Amino acid sequence: MLRGSPERELAAWWEAEAVAATKAQAAKEQVRVDPGAAGEPERKAGEEQPKEPVPATPCAAEEGDARIPPRPPPTLPVSLAKPEPASGLCPHGKSRIKGRSCKRSSGQPDEYCSLRPVTVDSSKARTSLDALKISIRQLRWKEFPFGRRLPCDIYWHGVSFHDNDIFSGQVNKFPGMTEMVRKITLSRAVRIMQNLFPEEYNFYPRSWILPDEFQLFVAQVRMVKDGDPSWKPTFIVKPDSGCQGDGIYLIKDPSDIRLSGTLQSRPAVVQEYICKPLLIDKLKFDIRLYVLLKSLEPLEIYIAKDGLSRFCTEPYQEPSPKNLHHIFMHLTNYSLNIHSGNFIHSDSTSTGSKRTFSSILYRLSSKGVDIKKVWSDIISLVIKTVIALTPELKVFYQSDIPAGRPGPTCFQILGFDILLMKNLKPILLEVNANPSMRIEHEQELSPGVFENVPSLVDEEVKVAVIRDTLRLMDPLKKKRESHFPDICMDRKDRFSPVSERMSSLKLQLSKLSIVRSQLLGKPLASKENPPHSDLASASRGNANPDAHLPSICLKQVFPKYAKQFNYLRLVDRMANLFIRFLGIKGTMKLGPTGFRTFIRDVPAGLRGGLLLPGSEEVQDAAAP
């Protein structure tokens, strides 16, 4: 339970957003309300069986990335590829408006022209490339698809911080994040917090690490069963390095664990299975929420207002020895269920096997569910999970980008997989460091003929997340705001969800026209060159070049709610001390004298006496 202000307060601001989203959903489509998870799952007639899966790639790659071949290397070596000025820009990087020079007719420099565009290196973006390109185009920034000799403002990596050597700017990955969110590391990090704050961290299923804790697992299960013979648990075994449901299986008893050699070579987490999930259309589903870790120090967390809900494709039954192996009933992974004959691709965001989370909230609210409370619990879960991850992340960060050395600053979009229990309590399943940002899916047009087709639901959610992450990270934001002070206000008041729909619609239409041009062999209008009318408005002295954008879909939750959660940041403070000490020694190894000094400093630090310069924790130390 939250201390300080009541937990419900947390969702107060969110309510307006969530309700607006659900109203928009309502206006968008007439959604059938499900009175108690009854009825058949909606099924699109004539849905065809998708192609068999190709073996999954290792999970260091992007989640959901299994069937993507690596991008071909650039045609020019990066060092030779001259950064071409965009067609909408002057050679010196300033905006160029068709038929105009960079000087206004009055001879004064054009205000729009005097701001250079933000530059983004997308050469390592891999499967996020399509969504990233659309985002950059919407922002009218400058993309460098093959890298650039000069530094870029933002580097977009598809896999990890180390995809490329960067010494400046901002990169969309934190060092160590992939390691931190692996199943075993995440379980360990959450367990540390469960030991300190058991009630606050009861959103994560009880887990054991295999093979190390196999005996402990057996003993603890036996102990509980002895005390309560009616307890008939189910457990889920998940390989540490697995993703997309790979290697996962359910068991009823510890003796069912497949020990034969594999556990040594493939460590795993065994976890209590949540037997009573919330069902919609009789189906189990989970939620993919996008969370932006904007900064570690100070801690800044944003949550996307909408996410995705991924549905199972076989009606759910509580686990029994008969159905334990029914993966389409128990596992919600898109990558698995797409291979079920029951998978429904839908053009609507509120039907089919992948839907927006807002459409689920709309259904729930129309059945009388308090969606404010659901959001509030989800926000708490996200903040607490990030708090569990930050101590080690800070140590990784320090070792990769030591203070005082040149290096980029980092931000990262994380994919939180959350299950709602029947009683609506959210449960954390896992965190993905590389959530899939693909905006298309494979469809079998005729037997054996496959094509990648745009996925509306993916595009609606993911492009907004990437675009608005870029907007929040915009290094020229302050400069732009000082150019347009009167109009750079919160766009919330000026844009209705309808305008968002319209911009999405325009996007679809522009995509269609691109496809049509390609089919007809017509030359394409330059993607870098925004429509003349848009630029014309931007060229007016006081026009805001961002005015065409919808309101930001990412909402800050930390430090906004810091007061309610700072008492949980105990280990975080220890990490600050540890790093501070290492900063003095300049080494990652602590000798005995160093350790003595460290433990001498810890108590003072935990009381708030020793804090890193620039740390925001001055008020944090006093736990309520």
Query: Shortest approach of ligand ADP to residue 492 CB, angstroms?
Result: 33
Is residue 240 a contact point for ligand ADP (CB under 6 A)?
A: no
Is residue 385 a contact point for ligand ADP (CB under 6 A)?
A: no
Q: What value, to the nearest 5°, has the Cα angle with vertex 442 and ends 436 and 447? A: 160
Q: From the list 430, 500, 617, 620, which residue makes contact with ligand ADP (rule: CB under 6 A)?
A: 430
* DSSP 8-state secondary structure symbol assigned to residue 552: P
Q: From the list 125, 193, 338, 429, which residue makes contact with ligand ADP (rule: CB under 6 A)?
A: 429
Q: What value, to the nearest 5°, has the Cα angle with vertex 291 and ends 164 and 187? A: 85
Q: From the list 25, 194, 244, 353, which residue makes contact with ligand ADP (rule: CB under 6 A)?
A: 244
CA 470/CA 466 separation, integer angstroms = 6
Q: Is 598 helix (H, G, I), strand (E, B) or coil?
A: helix
Q: Decide whether 276 or 607 has the Cβ nearer to ligand ADP.
A: 276
Please say whether the beta carbons of 285 and 309 come within 8 A.
yes
Q: Identify residues 156-185 at the interface with ligand ADP (CB under 6 A).
A: none
The residue range among 152-160, 193-201, 242-250, 353-361 that interacts with ligand ADP, by the rule CB under 6 A, is 242-250
Please say whether the beta carbons of 209 and 188 come within 8 A.
yes
What is the per-residue DSSP string for 158-213?
Answer: SS-GGGS---SSEES--TTHHHHTSHHHHHHHHHHHHHH-TTTTTTS--EEEETTT
Is residue 56 a contact point for ligand ADP (CB under 6 A)?
A: no
CA 230/CA 70 separation, integer angstroms = 52
CA 111/CA 47 separation, integer angstroms = 53
320: nearest Cα among 368, 227, 251, 420: 251
In the chain, the amino acid numbered 330 is: H
Q: Decide whether 97 or 184 has the Cβ nearer to ligand ADP.
A: 184
Is residue 236 a contact point for ligand ADP (CB under 6 A)?
A: yes
Please say whether the beta carbons of 67 and 51 come within 8 A.
no
Q: From the list 242, 254, 545, 605, which residue makes contact with ligand ADP (rule: CB under 6 A)?
A: 242
Q: From the list 171, 243, 344, 553, which residue makes contact with ligand ADP (rule: CB under 6 A)?
A: 243
Query: Shortest approach of ligand ADP to residue 432 CB, angstroms?
Result: 7
The residue range among 215-223, 237-245, 478-486, 541-549 that interacts with ligand ADP, by the rule CB under 6 A, is 237-245
Is residue 205 a contact point for ligand ADP (CB under 6 A)?
A: yes
Beta bridge partners of 407: none
Is residue 271 a contact point for ligand ADP (CB under 6 A)?
A: yes
Is residue 245 a contact point for ligand ADP (CB under 6 A)?
A: yes
- What Rg value do the Cα atoms of the chain yield, rounded? 25
The residue range among 106-114, 192-200, 331-339, 340-348 that interacts with ligand ADP, by the rule CB under 6 A, is 331-339
Is residue 421 a contact point for ligand ADP (CB under 6 A)?
A: no
CA 206/CA 223 separation, integer angstroms = 15
Query: Shortest approach of ligand ADP to residue 261 CB, angstroms?
Result: 21
Cα–chain center distance at 549: 21
Q: Decide whether 28 or 238 has the Cβ nearer to ligand ADP.
A: 238
Is residue 238 a contact point for ligand ADP (CB under 6 A)?
A: yes
Q: Calculate the alpha carbon distances from 480 to 153, 495, 531, 603 in Å.
A: 15, 20, 21, 45
The residue range among 81-89, 270-278, 372-380, 407-415 that interacts with ligand ADP, by the rule CB under 6 A, is 270-278
Size of the site for ligand ADP (CB under 6 A): 20
Q: Decide whether 88 or 242 has the Cβ nearer to ligand ADP.
A: 242
**Interface residues toward ligand ADP, by CB under 6 A:** 205, 236, 238, 242-246, 248, 271, 273-274, 286, 331-333, 417, 419, 429-430
